[in-house]
Each structure stands twice: as C-alpha cells, then as structure tokens.
Amino acid sequence: MSSSHHNLSALNKDQLPDASAMLFGIVVSEWNNEITESLYDGAIKTLLDSKAKEENIIRINVPGSFELPLGAQSLFIQHKVDAVICLGCVIQGETRHFEFICDAVSKGLMDLSIKHNVPFVFGMLTTNTMDQAKERAGGKHGNKGVEAAATALKMVEMQKQLRK
C-alpha cells in the first residue's frame, strides 16, 4: 500500500524496549522550525512513553539540516549517548540544493553510525511541499519524530542484545 494512504507512525508501543537505562541525544534543525519542533515533540513523547528519563535526553539545535551530522557528532563526543536522533526538514525548491542537502546529511549520518558503532538516526523529512511536511510531522501520515525515536530505541536494544 502506498504511504499516501496510511499513518506511517502507527506502532505498538508495548513492543518498544524499556529506555530507562538509555541515554539519548536529539539534534534539531532550526530551519523549518514549525515542522522540526513537531518532530521533536513526537520523538520526546515516544522516548518518555518508553520510560526514558528526562535527564537522559540531551537536546541541541543546529541552524539547518546540513549541520545535523556535525551537531550529532559533537553531541555524541561530548556526552557518549547510546543513540542520536537527528530531526530536520528539507523541502524541494526550484534548484538542486535539495538533492545536495539530502545526500550530504544521509551520507554524513550513515558514516557517523559506522565510525562510532552508534545509531545516528535519520529523522529528516524530504518532501516536495510544506503541506507534505505537515502531513508527516503530526498530520495524517503520522510523525517522523515518533518513527525516529522508535528506531533509536530498537537499535540501542539490538546492540545491547548483541553484546550479551
């Protein structure tokens, strides 16, 4: 079924791991602030619903989505978090700028994940319009922030299980 027909953030919260002993970083882009704050709200609610402690969630802001990888790396190096959730929003314009930003951020976060063996979660919306971004930031298609937090929880738990 096409993603245009259902809520992408529907998840069974009972199947998410207990986050009470996990430490998270969240990096939020200030660009398209209306969207990124909604993504943050979804992410933080998901973490807290999974028993994460407020004092174990560290937030920093960066000017735009392009800065997410450096912000994420800086947060990780300073605080040694178990996962970093990166939240941003890039909306297609008339130039190729969109492609360069999206490619750079996704590659940057993947490189960080591999380099540090820590989940650097891609919670960036890449939409054609502001309306599409709103639909994916708490609208009819759910909230990408919820999905990013769920991914972070599951990846931290997976790594914990592999270390056993």
**Residues annotated as catalytic (active site), given as ranges:** 97
Q: Which long-range contacts (C-beta less than 8 Å, at least 24 apart) are formed by 2-7?
A: 3/141, 4/141, 6/141, 7/140, 7/141, 7/142
Nearest to 86 by CA among 51, 104, 61, 103: 61
- Distance, C-alpha 104 to centroid of its chain: 16
Nearest to 62 by CA among 25, 116, 110: 25
Residue 88 in contact with residue 64, Cβ under 8 Å? Answer: yes
